Amino acid sequence: MSTHALPRSWGAEPAADGQWRFALWAPDAREITVEVDGVATPMMRKDDGWASVTTAARAGQTYLFGVDGQLYPDPAARAQAGDVHGPSRLVDPTAFKWTAEWQGVPWHQAVIYELHVGTFTPEGTFDAARHGLARLKSLGVTVIELMPLAQFEGQRGWGYDGVLPYAPHNAYGSPEDLKHFVEAAHRLGLAVMLDVVYNHFGPAGNYLAAWCPRFFHSSRTSPWGQGIAYEEPAVRAFFIENALYWLEEFQLDGLRLDAVHAMDDESDSHILDDIGRAIRAREWGRPIHLVTEDERNLTRYFHDDAPFDGTWNDDWHHAVHCLLTGESESYYAPFAVDPLADIETALRDGYVEQGQTRPGSEKPRGEPSSDLPRSAFINFLGNHDQVGNRAEGERLHHLVSDESALRVVTALTLLSPCTPMLFMGDEFLTDAPFLFFTDFEGELAEAVRSGRAREFERFSAFAGTVPDPNAPETALRSQIGRPESERQLRHEAFVRDVLALREIHVQPLLAAPTPTPAAAVTMAREGARFDVAWAFGPGRLLLRFSLGDGAIEPPLDPFFVEAQPDSRFSIAAAVRME
């Protein structure tokens, strides 16, 4: 058995002999105390803005920091006693005994499953989600990517409005429950990653702005609120330690960093680079996977010894979505011009938008990407953003009636050398949408409600009412359920079969040293018919498919063929060993 704890600059840390050390950075405060179960103790201030004290306490007690006479929860609390406005709870990270032997999952084996704890099961808890892991293992998933867990206002939400980045949202369970979830996943051979939000704090319960204004920039903002002062050493430590904390104390296998394009940092070394370097400087005893979401389509984070493994590739989603749905509004506009050409570019180069001028786009975006390893591109047919940011939360299979077309683009996504990701429920064509939902009150609730409605007024195809984000039934409707109908069971079996083929035939190729990606792919296209081959050390992966021009002739000895006589979509695949 082993324990895992990360000593941190911020917050409460257990010391010897029943003592706890409390520390807070509050450079603008005059008087700072810590109040444990109602008993206040003054904290000693230093010139650098830090205040600390060591005093008697025990795990399970509640505490608050007093700043100039006002009481606040610990911004680095490991847990809250209740909501984000009240006391924090002392958690001894050494109390949990880890027993699973775990070596991790290498990146070439990654098949990612994006999971929202609150809607994955009717109970919406870590414990209930733990009992659903065996199904995902049998499906062929190897990596669970949890949507953000940092505690946010209310009971229901996506997690991107977190205000206490160290505290797992207690509506899902305790820190110990999350650790049991991770250990159960590891026992099944599943890695667990976490989506973390370092670009902003949520609008309710962020008390840092009240007592530590230097944590933020007065003149710099993100799309979601005040800009964060990453240039301050104490602020920088808050986020770097947070990344290390999730990996150490919860034994997670990686992080997905949300919207890194919104992390505006004017330091000589960008905070994103420092987070990556801090993680790579440690020996973890297992692979640690780092993933970005970056609408800029930058490539420098994945070259040579750069610290990141992959990035969400919205370009792939947009091109396939436009092809199958015909939608062309908003950010789909440039991808609706010639989606087949965009799919060709994505298969060859990874990104579609690589800095070139494109019809329907206001300005160029991206950098040339053909030299990046294919595994750096995480491809998907849906995710929380692309589904949840629709007014009615429709998934691709809600918008497309051609089941063969869905199977073909699913197989293409799961069998290409890029890293595949499934959004929970898509694996069995769930009936449930994934709607935008929150649990705010008062003026904030009304602002979110009305703002959401205004957001869709400009879409000509939308003619209805937007579900109220704050209504409990909005979150309830988003629970994915389980496969029940013949159609759902059939599609889940199909996904299982395709992922088994990926494990047997594709992953061994990805594990081998490869030539420069730009020289390793050859492609021939005639209309909507494609022949693509990727070369690897031991052999080649060949995909032949049609995305609209009818049946195809499969390669010799294909290990997979999907063709339906009532559809113009078909696909075949094979591996040639050299």
Q: How far apart are the first and last CA of the chain?
A: 46
Residues 6+ away with beta carbon under 8 Å from 18: 56, 57, 58
Whether 293 is a known active-site residue: answer yes
How far is 434 from 514, CA to CA, in rounded Å?
38
Task: Single out the catalytic residue among 74, 161, 195, 258.
Answer: 258
Cα 64 to the chain's mean position, in Å?
Answer: 31
How far is 483 from 495, CA to CA, in rounded Å?
13
How far is 505 from 490, CA to CA, in rounded Å?
23
What does each C-alpha distance from 569 to 334, 371, 530 come to in angstroms?
23, 30, 11
Task: Single out the catalytic residue among 13, 145, 293, 492.
Answer: 293
Other Cβ atoms within 10 Å of 122 Cβ, number: 12
**Token reading at 400:** 């497309």
Angle, CA 81 vertex, CA 79 and CA 85 arms, to 5°: 95
How far is 456 from 462, CA to CA, in rounded Å?
7
| String of DSSP letters for 521-569 | EEEEEETTEEEEEEE-SSEEEEEEEEESS---PPPSS-SEEEE-TT-SE
Whether 161 is a known active-site residue: answer no
Count how many Cα atoms sit within 13 Å of the Cα of residue 524 in the half-sphere of its side chain.
3
User: Locate tokens 């990046």: which residue?
Assistant: 372
Q: Which of 335, 417, 422 is nearest to 376 (CA)?
A: 417
| String of DSSP letters for 110-155 | --EEEE-HHHHSSS-SHHHHHTTHHHHHHHT--EEEEPP-EE-SSS
How far is 382 from 539, CA to CA, in rounded Å?
31
What residues act catalytically?
Answer: 258, 293
